[in-house]
């Protein structure tokens, strides 16, 4: 998937306070792309993601090209980070599903009358 192929200098350990956390962005892109939402909603979510991280289409293309120029070992390290982020998200999501439901207030059964009719 194209989303897994983008990268930045930040993802390869170079520090820059304005750098985009591409591993996180790519993980979020994967979640959006794999969702069962209509394409129109996916497009909106993707636009929101780009806006939240201040990413332009040109910046995405630039970082994608940077990723392609990286040695395979660096590409795999980046993809491993993306995988870790996705696994953490899934564990968190499963934790929410596995938590017991809140206790319900059941009304106690009516006491039986001592003298049945």
Place of tokens 């009358």: 113
This prediction's pTM: 0.65
**Paired tokens of 113:** 């009358």
Cα maximum dimension of the chain: 88
Q: Is the pLDDT of residue 8 over 50?
A: no
Contact (Cβ atoms closer than 8 angstroms) between residue 26 and residue 60? no
Place of tokens 């985009």: 20
Name the more confident of 61 and 105.
61
Q: Is the pLDDT of residue 12 over 80?
A: no
- Average pLDDT of the chain? 78
Taking CA 73 as the corner, what is the angle to CA 3 and CA 27, rounded to the nearest 5 degrees?
A: 25
Domain assignments of the chain as residue spans, ordered by start:
23-92
Can you give the pLDDT at residue 28? Answer: 95
């Amino acid at each position: 998937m194209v989303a897994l192929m983008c990268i930045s200098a930040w993802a390869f350990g170079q520090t820059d306070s304005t750098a985009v956390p591409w591993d996180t962005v790519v993980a979020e892109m994967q979640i959006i792309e794999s969702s069962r939402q209509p394409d129109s909603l996916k497009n909106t979510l993707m636009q929101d993601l780009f806006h939240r991280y201040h990413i332009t289409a040109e910046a995405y293309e630039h970082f994608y090209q940077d990723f392609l120029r990286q040695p395979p070992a660096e590409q795999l390290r980046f993809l491993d980070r993306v995988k870790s982020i996705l696994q953490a998200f899934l564990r968190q999501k499963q934790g929410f599903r596995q938590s017991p439901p809140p206790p319900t207030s059941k009304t106690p059964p009516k006491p039986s009358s001592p003298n049945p009719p």
